[in-house]
Amino acid sequence: MLQTSKSEFLEVILDDHASRAITQNGIEITIDRHKCIYSMYDPKGCKKCLQICPVRVYATRPIEKRDFSIPPRERIDPTIWVILPTWADWCNGCGACVEECPKDAITVQFGEELIAP
């Protein structure tokens, strides 16, 4: 496991296989990291879930901290970024992200309803 965070409302888990959020209001959103082709820096890299979600569930996060003690020219950038369903408790179950994802990487469990590619 690379990273996990927990608030009063949801738990966000990032590991080598998935980024996932599980909320107290019965929502679970999973992005398969092996399928996702998100790229922060490549203009052709996918950002569709970020762009389509009407309530802005998705956010990007660096998974490695930059070492600012290294002079900028010697730093290895771009830092690796991933997409997380950071604000999953705002999800309204519309399914737009699942529909738009070109790699079928997203699954949304919205209460009793499973929204899957």
DSSP-based three-state secondary structure for 18: strand
Instruction: Quickly count: other Cβ atoms within 10 Å of residue 15's Cβ.
Output: 12
Q: What is the distance between the alpha carbons of residues 45 and 51, in angstroms, rounded to a whole number?
A: 13
Instruction: Quickly count: other Cβ atoms within 10 Å of residue 95's Cβ.
Output: 15
The reply on whether position 87 binds ligand SF4 by CB under 6 A is: no
Is the sign of the CA dihedral 38, 115, 10, 100 positive or negative?
A: positive
Using CB under 6 A as the binding rule, the residues of this chain from 62 to 81 that contact ligand SF4 are none
> 50 in the Ramachandran plot: left (φ > 0), alpha (ψ -120 to 50) or beta?
alpha
Stretch that binds ligand SF4, among 1-9, 10-18, 48-56, 61-69 (CB under 6 A): 48-56
Stretch that binds ligand SF4, among 8-16, 41-49, 66-74 (CB under 6 A): 41-49
Q: What is the distance between the alpha carbons of residues 59 and 61, in angstroms, rounded to a whole number?
A: 7
Nearer to ligand SF4, 2 or 59 (CB): 59
Which one of residues 84, 101, 107, 109 is an interface residue with ligand SF4 (CB under 6 A)?
101
Using CB under 6 A as the binding rule, the residues of this chain from 2 to 31 that contact ligand SF4 are 29, 31
The reply on whether position 61 binds ligand SF4 by CB under 6 A is: no
The binding site for ligand SF4 (CB under 6 A) comprises 29, 31, 36-38, 46-49, 52-55, 57, 83, 91-97, 100-103, 105-106, 108
